[in-house]
Amino acid sequence: AERCVVAVDGPSGSGKSTVSRRLATSLGARYLDTGAMYRAITWAVLRSGVDLTDAQAVAKVAGEVDLCIGTDPAGYGVTADGVSVEAEIRGPEVTAAVSAVAAVPAVRALLVARQQEMITNAGRIVVEGRDIGSVVAPDADLKVYLTASAAARAARRSAEDASDVAATAADLARRDRLDSTRKADPLAQAPDAVELDTTELGIDEVVARLRELLADRG
C-alpha cells in the first residue's frame, strides 16, 4: 500500500485518541498510541519499585521490559512482559507518574526509535502523541496539532472516566506543565502543523476536516 503518515499531537484531553482512531479506521490505516507506550513503561517502573526520580534506574527498567503494542484495528492492546496492561495503564497510579517517566531522555530515545521503526514498517498509519510531528515523524504527510479550551478538555476526560471535573482539570494542567517544560522532546507544535481548536467541534467534524486536509495536500 501507498505510504502515508499522519501525526496528531496536542495536550491531554484535546480529543487526540478518539479522532486518531476514527481517522485511522476511515482511512483503512494503522493507529499508534504512543502515550500507551509511555504508560506501559511507567507501569513496569512502578511495579519494579525503583525511585521515579532516579533517571538511570528508570531507564534500566525501560530497557528491560518487553513491550508490545497493536497498531492494527484488530487490536490496539498493550502488553508488558507478555501480560496485558490495558486496564492498568489507564489507572490513577500510572497517570500520576507517566510525565516523570516520559521526561527521562533515555526512555524517550528508546521509545522514539521503536515508534520510528513501527512507522517505517506500517505503510499507512495515524500516530498520536506529544512529539510526533516535531521529533518522531518530522516527514509526516500531515501534521495536526489539536487544542481545546481547558474547560472542554477537563469535561471530556471526566465524562470518559467518570472522574471529578475539578480534579481532572488540575491533573491535566499538571501534566501539560510537565510535558511542555521538560528538556527532552517537550510537547510542541511543529511549525508546519495545522492547528485545530476542537472546543466547538464534534468528532465527526474534526475527522472530516482532517480528511479534507489529507485530500488537499501536495
Applying the rule CB under 6 A, the residues between 160 and 189 that interact with ligand C5P are 175, 179
- For residue 148, count CB atoms less than 10 angstroms from its CB and return exposed for 0-12, middle for 13-18, buried for 19 or more: buried
Q: Which of 102, 104, 126, 137 binds ligand C5P (CB under 6 A)?
A: 102
Grid cell of 145 as nine digits: 496539532
The span from the CA of 117 to the CA of 216, in Å, is 27
Decide: is 88 part of the binding site for ligand C5P (CB under 6 A): no
53 in helix, strand or coil? coil
Residue (195 or 215) nearer to ligand C5P, CB: 195
The span from the CA of 174 to the CA of 157, in Å, is 14
Q: How far is the CB of 77 from ligand C5P (least distance, A)?
A: 15
Q: Which of 35, 173, 189, 213 binds ligand C5P (CB under 6 A)?
A: 35
Q: What angle do CA 201, 16, 124 make, to 5 degrees?
A: 115
Q: Which of 23, 129, 142, 206 binds ligand C5P (CB under 6 A)?
A: 129
Chain residues binding ligand C5P by CB under 6 A are 12, 34-35, 38-39, 98-99, 102, 129-131, 175, 179
